[in-house]
């Protein structure tokens, strides 16, 4: 039987980032059910670092992660994971309350500047008269970040077991005995970083679910020869009906911002969601679409209150939740991993996250 200090279930961004932090002090094994880590949510993300995204409870984690993504330690990565983008939040005449609510919600924590949206996006349809510019938004190189965490994890002695699902776990003296596709493993602690499968993993361990809900998010890649510039900002509807951003010259990524419940699995884009995306795009700009080149869907998983779930299960202190990161798990990964590691092994809290209160993220709020 394999023995470890900590078993992490899930090898996406959550499991990889926390594994890299924990492997410095413990023997850690990551169990990843797919043939490659990050297949479902991490590998399908149109990620960006945007301080307002996810709301005020998520913002401190995003803000704290920014410098760590922009200026990684030399032994972690050779270059920044971020590149300039900016977000333009747009609305119609009736959306002034949405704009004002955003400004009031974030106050001086996030720089939000009222602007004329037409001046920033040539071809924007005239009814879009309200604009709010969030200059700090940047694109994230998701693949590079995920690979950097996995590389650091392995360098620190961590082991990743691919195509290895947790089937069941039972409490034994001193910890857990886990049955997996690769046989039995014993460990003092289980970390549930299984994303859309988090509640199922909990149930397999005899722990009550917290209500993590998997939601489908549709993305399409369009070829737009008349795209004014590849440096345009991310354009986001204030009412959450769509967003799009350039992906190089003449191409962009678009989503209808859908969140349809689905069973966790290998999800695909549905025709209706794609049609809705195209219709909303046509209602935002007058650009000609030459081709719909690619479509896909990914899973986002939220707790009932849409805040992340970080902390020990109150009724089972050897079971740690690291789940419910919705669509903001990548932009918050550095700070979230540091925060979770401090909760798990009692290490001193870094100055980077010293001001972040972990209480709102605790699974105790559901018990």
DSSP 12: S
Helix (H), strand (E) at residue 184 = strand 183-192
244 and 167, same structural domain? no
293 and 222, same structural domain? yes
Q: Judge whether 232 and 246 are in contact, CB under 8 Å.
A: yes
220 and 128, same structural domain? yes
> Is 192 inside a domain boundary?
yes
- Per-residue pLDDT tens for 95-144? 999 999 999 999 999 999 999 999 999 999 999 999 999 999 999 999 99
pLDDT at residue 20 in the model: 98
196 and 222, same structural domain? no
201 and 188, same structural domain? yes
> Is 81 inside a domain boundary?
no
> Is 348 inside a domain boundary?
yes
The residue count of the chain comes to: 367
pLDDT at residue 45 in the model: 74
149 and 118, same structural domain? no
**Residues with Cβ within 8 Å of residue 107, at least 6 apart in sequence:** none
CATH of residue 261: 3.30.9.10
pLDDT at residue 206 in the model: 97
182 and 45, same structural domain? yes
By residue range, what is the domain housing residue 264? 87-135+213-302
**Residues with Cβ within 8 Å of residue 218, at least 6 apart in sequence:** 255, 256, 258, 269, 270, 273, 274, 277, 295, 296, 297
Domain finish residue from 256, 276, 302: 302
> Is 246 inside a domain boundary?
yes
Q: Which two tokens stand for residue 143?
A: 């693949």
**Residues with Cβ within 8 Å of residue 268, at least 6 apart in sequence:** 296, 297
pLDDT at residue 315 in the model: 87
224 and 354, same structural domain? no
207 and 217, same structural domain? no
pLDDT at residue 165 in the model: 96
Helix (H), strand (E) at residue 17 = helix 13-22
Q: How far apart are CA 355 and CA 352, in angstroms?
A: 8
pLDDT at residue 317 in the model: 87
- Per-residue pLDDT tens for 281-332? 999 999 999 999 999 999 999 999 999 999 999 989 899 999 999 989 999 9
Whether residue 43 has pLDDT greater than 70: no
- Per-residue pLDDT tens for 154-194? 999 999 999 999 999 999 998 999 999 989 999 999 999 99
**Residues with Cβ within 8 Å of residue 91, at least 6 apart in sequence:** 98, 99, 128, 129, 130, 131, 132, 237, 238, 239
> Is 353 inside a domain boundary?
yes
Q: In sequence order, what DSSP letters do the residues of 238-267 get, joined into one string?
A: TTSS-EEEE-STTEEEEE----EE--SSS-
- Mean pLDDT in the chain? 95
pLDDT at residue 12 in the model: 95
Number of structural domains in the chain: 2
Instruction: Determine if the pTM surpasses 0.75.
Output: yes
> Is 70 inside a domain boundary?
no
């Amino acid at each position: 039987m394999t023995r470890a200090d900590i078993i992490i279930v899930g090898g996406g961004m959550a499991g990889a980032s926390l594994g890299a932090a924990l492997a410095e002090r413990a023997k850690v094994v990551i169990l990843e059910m797919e043939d490659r880590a990050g297949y479902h949510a991490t590998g399908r993300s149109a990620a960006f670092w945007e301080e307002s995204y996810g709301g005020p409870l998520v913002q401190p984690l995003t803000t704290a992660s920014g410098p760590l993504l922009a200026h990684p330690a030399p032994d972690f990565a050779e270059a920044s994971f971020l590149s300039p983008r900016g977000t333009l939040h747009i609305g119609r005449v009736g959306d002034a309350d949405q704009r004002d609510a955003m400004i009031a919600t974030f106050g001086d924590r996030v720089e939000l500047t009222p602007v004329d949206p037409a001046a920033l996006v040539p071809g924007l349809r005239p009814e879009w008269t309200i604009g709010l510019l969030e200059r700090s938004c940047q694109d994230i190189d998701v693949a590079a970040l995920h690979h950097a965490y996995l590389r650091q994890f392995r360098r620190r002695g961590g082991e990743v077991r691919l195509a290895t699902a947790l089937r069941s776990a039972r409490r034994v003296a001193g910890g857990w005995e886990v049955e997996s596709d690769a046989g039995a493993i014993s460990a003092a602690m289980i970390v549930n970083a299984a994303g859309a499968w988090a509640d199922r993993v909990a149930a397999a361990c005899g722990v009550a679910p917290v209500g993590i809900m998997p939601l489908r998010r549709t993305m399409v890649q369009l070829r737009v020869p008349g795209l004014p510039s590849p440096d345009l900002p991310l354009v986001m509807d204030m009412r959450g009906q769509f967003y799009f951003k350039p992906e190089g010259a003449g191409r962009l990524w678009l989503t209808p911002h859908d969140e349809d419940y689905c069973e966790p699995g290998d999800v695909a884009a549905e025709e209706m969601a794609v049609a809705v995306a195209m219709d909303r795009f046509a209602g935002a700009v007058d650009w000609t679409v030459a081709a719909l080149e690619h479509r896909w869907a990914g899973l986002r998983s939220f707790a009932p209150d849409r805040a992340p779930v970080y902390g020990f299960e109150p009724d089972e202190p050897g079971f740690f939740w690291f789940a419910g990161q919705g669509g903001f798990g990548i932009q918050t990964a550095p700070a979230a991993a540091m925060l979770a590691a401090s909760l798990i092994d009692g290490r001193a809290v870094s100055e980077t996250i010293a001001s972040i209160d972990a209480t709102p993220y605790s699974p105790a709020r559901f018990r």
